[in-house]
Amino acid sequence: MMPAPAVATGYGARLTVDLGALKRNWQALDKVSRGALTGAAVKADAYGIGLVQASRALYEAGTRFFFVASPDEGIAVRAALPEDTHIFILNGLFPGAAPLYVGERLMPCLCSIPMLEEWLQACLSRNESLPAALHFDTGINRLGFRLNEAPVVKRMVDQLGYSPQMIMSHFACADQPAHEKNRTQLALFTSVLAQFPNVPASMANSAALMTGRENHFQMVRPGIALYGGRAVQGRRNPMAPVVTLEAPILQVKEIRTGESLGYGALQTVARDSLIAVVGIGYADGFFRHQSGTNSRAGGRVVIGNKFAPVLGRVSMDMIQVDITDLREMPKPGDMVEVLGPNISVDDQADVGNTIGYEILTSLKGRYSRSYVESPAPNNS
């Protein structure tokens, strides 16, 4: 039998994650939160950059509190980090999973009466007050106890003498600081906390952390801002970019006035043009909504510090970009910047009619992935 061929690497798109920038972003947010503990949301593979690598870097930066969506993610964080790590499961307690949570020292964010009953039963069976958070819905209408259930929850925990690790909720409109719903939710959350005196509280995601100290309570749990994304609409993003995505030029070619590009012939050129075909597509997280048409500009890439617009429809494996006006012509094999210092995740998201979160969490394609740790910039 012939041996399997070696796997070629380094010929496609490459994703570089700057763990130094990630650490500095957490430290900057920790300074803003001051009196509150600063946790870190590392769900969804740490927003696409790598759960284990990001968690280790954030631990080194100083956080000890991690928020994930599922117990599987929690188990991965637990295996990667030292014993003093505290891990909250945002999706709550899955039915029948209490022994797993206890064994892995995972803290569920309890959000329903059946969840609370199962957790309290686990506490009784072990004669131990197992830590967990109580999650109240103050208006986003996702997970959480209804506000009218607060007296029932209070009675259940008091009967057992159980003290929750934390009371939590989640803003619906924190990225819009002037939205009236923020004040309404904050008032409702404060009313819940009055029923659980002396229990630590948490409500602030990245945007709430960055826009008001009244949101901080005892724990903040940033997510998107850690990874360089824009947390607050209409404001300059102060966070350092964490991800650089580059893709190779596959071919450079001439096209004539009136010729179209790509599937659907959605765009024709109004002049003789030079285009570069770039090896990245929607299979790699470069969305079809970033396509260019005759009536709408598409996304952009950077070649030699110059922007090059996407022409025509994004396909599975490639895009076409206009390089006619570049002073120095690129050649096949040259890399173009898709995300990085010149094009943020939010720049690409805005063109694609989505959000930076979706761009980041879609970066799980066919990349050569590497991790670096850049030094802090010298601002002297």
Asked if residue 334 has pLDDT above 90, the reply is yes
Measured distance CA(338)–CA(22) in Å, rounded: 19
Is 43 an annotated catalytic residue? yes
Task: Report, as an integer, the average pLDDT of 74-90.
Answer: 97
Measured distance CA(207)–CA(33) in Å, rounded: 12
Owner of token pair 């994004």: 314
Compute φ and ψ for 274, nearest 5 degrees: -110, 130
Task: Report, as an integer, the average pLDDT of 5-25.
Answer: 83
Supply the pLDDT for residue 174: 95
* Global model pTM greater than 0.85: yes
Residues in contact with 264: Cβ distance below 8 Å, sequence separation at least 6, in sequence order:
313
pLDDT in tens, 22-41: 999 999 999 999 889 999 99
Asked if residue 168 has pLDDT above 70, the reply is yes
Indicate the pLDDT class of residue 7, thresholds 50, 70 and 90: low
Is 263 an annotated catalytic residue? yes
Q: How many CB atoms lie within 10 A of CB 41?
A: 23
Write a three-state SS string for the chain.
CCCCCCCCCCCCCEEEEEHHHHHHHHHHHHHHHCCCEECEECHHHHHCCCHHHHHHHHHHHCCCEEEECCHHHHHHHHHHCCCCCEEEECCCCCCCCHHHHHHHCEEEEECCHHHHHHHHHHHHHHCCCCCCEEEECCCCCCCCECHHHHHHHHHHHHHHCCCCCEEECCCCCCCCCCCHHHHHHHHHHHHHHCCCCCCCEEEECHHHHHHCHHHCCCEECCCHHHHCCCCCCCCCCCCCCCEEEEEEEEEEEEECCCCEECHHHCEECCCCEEEEEECCCHHHCCCHHHCCCCCCCCCEEEECCEEEEEECCCCCCCEEEECCCCCCCCCCCCEEEEECCCCCHHHHHHHCCCCHHHHHHCCCCCCEEEEECCCCCCCC
Indicate the pLDDT class of residue 116, thresholds 50, 70 and 90: very high
Residues in the chain: 380
Compute φ and ψ for 275, nearest 5 degrees: -125, 155
Task: Report, as an integer, the average pLDDT of 313-326.
Answer: 95
Asked if residue 49 has pLDDT above 70, the reply is yes
Indicate the pLDDT class of residue 358, thresholds 50, 70 and 90: very high
Owner of token pair 């630590």: 200
Q: How many CB atoms lie within 10 A of CB 47?
A: 26
Supply the pLDDT for residue 379: 62
Asked if residue 124 has pLDDT above 80, the reply is yes
Percent of the chain with pLDDT over 90: 89
11, 23, 31, 43: which is the annotated catalytic residue?
A: 43
Indicate the pLDDT class of residue 95, thresholds 50, 70 and 90: very high
Supply the pLDDT for residue 3: 54
Both tokens of 120, joined, read 């309290």
Both tokens of 34, joined, read 């001051």
11, 253, 263, 331: which is the annotated catalytic residue?
A: 263
pLDDT in tens, 258-295: 999 999 999 999 999 999 999 999 999 999 999 999 99
Indicate the pLDDT class of residue 327, thresholds 50, 70 and 90: confident
